[in-house]
Amino acid sequence: MKKLKIDSIFNNKKYLRIFSLLLAIIAWFFVIFVVSPEKTKTISGLSVRLSSNYITAEKLELQAIEGLDQKIDVVIVGNRSVVDTVTQSDIAVYASLDDVTERGTYTLTLRGENTTNKNFNIISLSPTNIDVKFDRVVSKTLTVDVDISGLEIEKGFVAENYTVSPSEIVVTGPEKEIESIEKCSVKIETDSKVNSTVSFKNQKIRIFDSNGYEIDSRYVIIDKSDANEVVPVLNIKSLPVEIRFTNVPSYFSLDSLSYSLSNEEILIAGPSSIVDNYNSIQLGEISLASLKPTDTYSFDVNLPAGFVNMENVETVTVTFDMDSYTSKEISVTDFRVTDIPENYNISVITKSINGIKVYGPREVVNLLSAQDVIAEVKIRGNNIVVGQCRIPVSLYIPLNQSIWTYGDYSVIIEVKEQE
């Protein structure tokens, strides 16, 4: 019966396949572990490291700029059970730096090293050497300029000083290439004419050599690659300058003053929303009581916030026409007391004010007499006490609108309460 069963097994194709597979597996294990236990294997894509003997290069402050990004294939051999476990982390590939003495490109010999206690050998590397460029790596700080040549400004407007952020960048790279960099800038352009402040965001910062050619090097690193800019576009306008006269008597006509300004107008620029609200620039004040035609008056030009002085006019000088004016000293005896409070009697103790200086057109001043001048003693508004006190007076020449008095004058009055 048993013989019949064995025969039936060998005659059965299904059992024959299983038996053949078992024999093949046994034969494979025999070859692997008895006949040929060693195996070779290629570990691909290893990075190159610089050898520890880097003293000379370090002293020269040299760094590898190009070439170390190449990947190396390493062939190893060893016991099959060991080799099958070897990975990239078990092997290091070093480049010899013995010949590196200055900046330049060198062909470096490679060697592989087993960095673990696994029992395998390195039999070859591919490639066996690489070309590496060495240079000193330096940095340089550059001010960011803005090229506004592509900005088309509407007539009657002007582009003022821009602001850019960042205002500076740092470029780092091979010394030779960094030395060739002269400047950096951002170029801005518009599709249409502009008449107001414009802003630009994320504009590319470009670097240039001394000849104006753009530098595009993969070895140069820019710490900030983009910039934002604001370019004020201002409205240009010519505004007249004006002087304000104070302490002007009601009778006096300012039109009678003959004077000239060193600058009748000032060319300014500013935002349209502000400029349109101004028809003139006020320079300052001159008190008529302290005005001497022989003097020259200078005023600093102080523009409103946001204005730009396009012609850098810093001062304006006021000069009076000396040929038209003269002066004269007279005395006043005509005192007129006004605004007397109730229940008080006021009398002027001063009999006359002498040496009053008057200015005006020559033909008018020469005919002036003391009778033409009135001294107004205005009581209300002054602190008075019973008894005698000194208070200022206002001098008037009501019959002539072109003469004024120079200086400050006062009189002594006596104050009595009414009984």
C-alpha 407/C-alpha 310 separation (Å) is: 39
How many domains does the chain divide into? 5
Q: The domain that contains 61 carries what CATH number?
A: 2.170.120.30
Q: Do residues 314 and 242 both lie within one domain? A: yes
Q: Is residue 134 part of a domain?
A: no
Q: Do residues 52 and 64 both lie within one domain? A: yes
DSSP 70-111: --EEEEEEEEHHHHTT--GGGEEEEE--TT--SSEEEEEEEE
384-399 burial, b for 16+ CB within 10 Å, e for fewer? beeeebebebbbbbee
Q: Is residue 174 part of a domain?
A: no
Residue 416 contacts residue 267 (beta carbons within 8 Å): no
Q: Strand, coil or helix: what is 391?
A: strand
Q: Which neighbouring-strand residues pair with 145? A: 185
Residue 381 contacts residue 264 (beta carbons within 8 Å): no
| Cα pseudo-dihedral 341, 344, 348, 349, rounded to 10 | -140
**Tokens found for residue 339:** 């605004």
Q: Do residues 82 and 113 both lie within one domain? A: yes
Residue 114 contacts residue 98 (beta carbons within 8 Å): no
Q: Strand, coil or helix: what is 176?
A: helix
**pLDDT digit string (tens) for 306-330?**
899 999 999 999 998 878 889 999 9
Q: Is residue 176 part of a domain?
A: no
Question: Which one of 320, 352, 380 terminates a domain?
Answer: 320
Distance set, CA 131 to CA 45, 62, 124, 174, 358 (Å): 17, 15, 18, 17, 98
**Tokens found for residue 410:** 């006062």
Q: Is residue 396 part of a domain?
A: yes
Question: Which one of 231, 263, 289 terminates a domain?
Answer: 231
Q: What angle separates helix 2-11 from helix 13-30, to the nearest 10 degrees? A: 80
pLDDT at 241: 95
Q: Do residues 192 and 120 both lie within one domain? A: no
Q: Do residues 377 and 316 both lie within one domain? A: no
User: How does DSSP classify residue 33?
Assistant: I
Q: Tell me the mean pLDDT per 10 residues along the chain, length 419.
A: 52 65 67 65 90 63 84 90 89 86 87 90 91 88 91 90 93 90 90 88 93 88 92 94 91 89 94 91 93 92 92 94 87 89 88 92 89 87 80 87 90 87
Q: Do residues 220 and 243 both lie within one domain? A: no
Cis before 127 (ω within 30): yes
Q: Is residue 95 part of a domain?
A: yes
Domain membership of residue 274 as a residue range = 235-320
Q: Do residues 343 and 368 both lie within one domain? A: yes
For strands 181-189 and 221-222, give the pairing: unpaired
Q: Where are the beta strands (DSSP E) in 274-314?
A: 281-287, 297-300, 308-309
At 11, the amino acid letter reads: N
Q: Is residue 190 part of a domain?
A: yes
- 105: nearest Cα among 55, 67, 69: 67
Q: Do residues 95 and 150 both lie within one domain? A: no
Classify residue 60 by burial, with Cβ atoms within 10 Å: 0-12, 13-18, 19+.
Answer: middle
Residue 375 contacts residue 408 (beta carbons within 8 Å): no
Q: Is residue 353 part of a domain?
A: yes
